[in-house]
Structure 1
C-alpha cells in the first residue's frame, strides 16, 4: 500500500448540531483542587485525537448513543475531575498545573450526509477524519477543555466517536482504561469503574535535590527535531503500509541471530527495526536516532501503580550509522532496539525527570524517527453496550519522521482486529524520500 487512494471523499458533508459543556456534579470548595503535573506530563502538553467507528445497531441509534456517552462522561468527571478542569500556570512556581474547577468537558453532536460505505476504506489515515473530532474552532468551546467528545452519525445508522484530549491528561494505557470506564458507565447508570484511577502525579515528581545520573541525548532545546513540518519547504506525504501476521513472523525469524544467545525478538522490536532500517535508507543522514515510547509502570514497580493516570511513558532511544542500519545484519538492528528499551531503568527515569526539572539537555525529545505504537493498546476491544469499534485510530499528524503502529481493521464478522496484522502510518518528505522508503519496505521484507 502507498499513499491515500484518490477515491476517498475530500468532504464528509458534516453538519454540527450542538456544542455544549458537560459539567460534573456541583463542586464544593473542599473538592476543588490544583493538580500537579509531572515533568513528563508537561512535555506532552498537546492535543491527542482519535476516532472510533461503529457499525449501525438497531437498538442503539446515534441519539441513544449520545445520551449514554454524555451521561457516562458526567459521571466520570468525578474520579477524573481533572478532565473538567483547565490548564493554568502556577504564579509562584511558574509551571503548568490543572485547576480542577469543574469548568466542564466538551460534547459535540454532528451528522454526515454520507454512509460509512461511501466514506471508503477506514484504514487509511484520511485527512477528512479531522472533521470527526472536536476542534478548537468550534463555537461554544472557546474556553478549550482538556477533553471533548464528538458523536457523528452517518446516513446508514453507523456513527463515529471522536475524542480530543490534552496528552498531559493521559497516555495510551490510561486512555484505554478511561474508555473501559466510559463503556461500563454507558451500559448502565449503575455501572462500576473497571479501574479506579490514581491521580497522584507527584509519584513522578523530581527528587530533592534533583540528580542527573545519565546523559540524555534524547533531549534537546532545538525545535528542529523529529517534529519538523518539512525539509527546505518540501511537502509532507503520509503513507500507509500493511504487515500481515505472517510478515511479522518473517521479520522475527530474520531477527533471530544464529551466533548469539539471548531473548527471542519481540514483534514490536522486529517491526520497529524494519521501519528504522527503511527510514535510514530513504534519508541522507549519516547517522540516525530512533525514539519509541516505553510504558514506565512496569519499570517503576515500587512507586507507580498500574492505575496511575498520568503520562507514564518515555522515549527509549537507539543510534546507529546509516551503513550499520542498511548494510548491517538485521538481527543487530533489532538488538539495538531492545537495548534502547533496556536502558530505561528506574534510575534512568528518575534521572530524566530530574534533568527536565533542572533544564539540562532541553525540553523536547529529539531524533530522526519517532515510533509510537497503538497496536496492542486494545482500543478496538472496548466493550460498549452497542458493541466494540469497527475500527479506531489516531488522527494522523503530518509531521515528518513519525510512524504510528495500529491494529488492522476488524473483520466484517465483528471479530477482533483480523489475524494479528498491523497497519503502519508514516509521514515522510514527498518525492524521493517517500518513494525510496516504500521501495525498501518491500525489498527488505523479501530479502
Structure 2
C-alpha cells in the first residue's frame, strides 16, 4: 500500500507552445444554460485526470500528440459546448457561450520512461510536470473548459493528462467524452454514443418543492484546531485493497451480513471507520459520509448520451462514538448501505491499448482534501482490486495505517 511513484523521481519536460484547439467544422453559436445541478457552488472547480500508456509496436511511427489533437478538433464538433466559455448571468446562473474559442492543448516531451514511474498508483508527486498550470487555465468563468496535455516518453509511451471543468460534466459524462475522443482517434467518423445536452431536465421546479432533508447542503463547522503542529501537515497516500484485503475485512462483520453487502459497501464502511479512528474525534463529534450516486438509468428523464452532471450525493450523519464503538462495523455497514456508487476511467483506448493507469492523480477536489475516489486497479502482482487515495494530517495518517494493521489487513507490497 505504498505510494507508487518514487517521490524522488526527477525528469525534465520540454514544453512546446500551448494552443487552443477549436472544432474542426463550424458549430452553432448560441448560449446554453447549465442545469441547477451543474452550476451549484460545490461543483465550480476543475477535476484532474491522468492516463499512462505504454509503447505499442503497431503505433511506433505515430505521434500520440498529433493523433489526439486532430481527433480532439473533430470530437469538439459533436461536443461543441466544451469549446466555449462559461458566463454568469442573474443570480449567478451559469451558461455556456458556445463561441468555439477552443480548449487548451499542450504537447510535451519528457526524458523519462514509463518504467521509471514505478508501479502506477496515486498520488503522483510529479503531476505538476504532466499538466502545466498555465495562466488562465484554472479559472471557472471565461476560461477554457478543458486543459489537455500529452507528454511523450523516451520509451515510446505517453501520458494523457486533463483538467475538466466540473460544472460541464460529471465523471460518467466525462468518460463518455473521452471514449468519443478515443474512438475518433482510432479512425471513426463519429462517436458511437452521440452527446445530448438537455440540461433543462435537471433544473428545479418553479417554485421548488423540497420533500426531504438535504444534509449535503448543510454548512458544516470546521474541525477544532489541534495544538500539535505536526497533525496539521496534510499528506497524500493511496491504499490498494485486493482480494486478500477484502476477504480480511469481510471477517470483521457478522457472517449473516457478508452476502448482503457489496464490495463497495464493505470497503467504504471499513475505510470510513478507520479514518474516523485516525482523526481521534470525541465520541459526540458529528461525522458524515457523502457518496455519489449516478442518476442515469434511475430516471426516465435523463436520455442516453447525456453528459452533464447527473448524480445525487446523499449524506449519512452519525457520531464518532457510534461509528467506532461496540458493534461498530455492523452499525457502520447499515449506515453506508444508504448511499453508494462506483466508477472506473481506465478503459479509454486511443490506439495504444488500455491505459495501465487511468484515474485521479490524488485525493481531494475543489479545495476539499477529504474527497476520495475509488479506482479499479491492478497491483504489481497483477491482482485486481481497488485503490483509494487519501489525504489526512500526518499523525492521523499514521493512526489510520496502524488501525489497518491492527484489524488484520495485510499491507500490500506494491
Task: Return the TM-score normalized by structure 2.
Answer: 0.86
Distance in 2 between residues matched to 1:64 and 1:244, nearest whole Å:
35
SS at match of 1:422: strand
1:168 matches 2:134 = no
Kept after mapping to 2: 8 A contact 1:235/1:429:
yes
Quote the RMSD (CA, aligned, Å): 2.9
Aligned mate of 2:354, from 381, 388, 391 = 388
Aligned mate of 1:34, from 28, 31, 42 = 31
Deviations, residues 295-334 of structure 1 (Å, cap 9, x unaligned): 111332x211242210112222122222222123212211
Aligned mate of 2:279, from 260, 279, 283 = 283
**Structure 1 unmatched ranges of 5 or more:** 342-372, 413-417
Shift of 1:338: 0.8
Shift of 1:445: 4.5
1:406 matches 2:375 = yes
Relative to structure 1, the CA distance from residue 410 to residue 381 in structure 2 (aligned partners, 3 Å threshold; closer, same or farther) is farther
Distance in 2 between residues matched to 1:70 and 1:136, nearest whole Å:
18
**Structure 2 unmatched ranges of 5 or more:** none
Relative to structure 1, the CA distance from residue 326 to residue 210 in structure 2 (aligned partners, 3 Å threshold; closer, same or farther) is same
Relative to structure 1, the CA distance from residue 186 to residue 148 in structure 2 (aligned partners, 3 Å threshold; closer, same or farther) is same
Q: Match for residue 248 of structure 1?
A: 246
Q: Match for residue 185 of structure 1?
A: 184
Relative to structure 1, the CA distance from residue 287 to residue 403 in structure 2 (aligned partners, 3 Å threshold; closer, same or farther) is same
Deviations, residues 228-263 of structure 1 (Å, cap 9, x unaligned): xx99981201122111123224434544553x7x97
1:442 matches 2:411 = no
Distance in 1 between residues matched to 2:128 and 2:62, nearest whole Å:
22
Greater Cα shift, 392-401 or 147-156? 392-401
Kept after mapping to 2: 8 A contact 1:256/1:265:
no
Q: Match for residue 302 of structure 2?
A: 304
Distance in 2 between residues matched to 1:247 and 1:204, nearest whole Å:
39
Distance in 1 between residues matched to 2:304 and 2:244, nearest whole Å:
32
Shift of 1:421: 0.9
Kept after mapping to 1: 8 A contact 2:239/2:387:
yes
Deviations, residues 81-132 of structure 1 (Å, cap 9, x unaligned): 1110001112x45411111110101111001111122233321312212321
Deviations, residues 364-403 of structure 1 (Å, cap 9, x unaligned): xxxxxxxxx7xx5342222332211111221225554232
Shift of 1:287: 2.7
Kept after mapping to 1: 8 A contact 2:286/2:319:
yes
Shift of 1:42: 1.4
Distance in 1 between residues matched to 2:39 and 2:221, nearest whole Å:
16
Q: Match for residue 350 of structure 1?
A: none
Aligned mate of 1:379, from 345, 350, 353 = 345
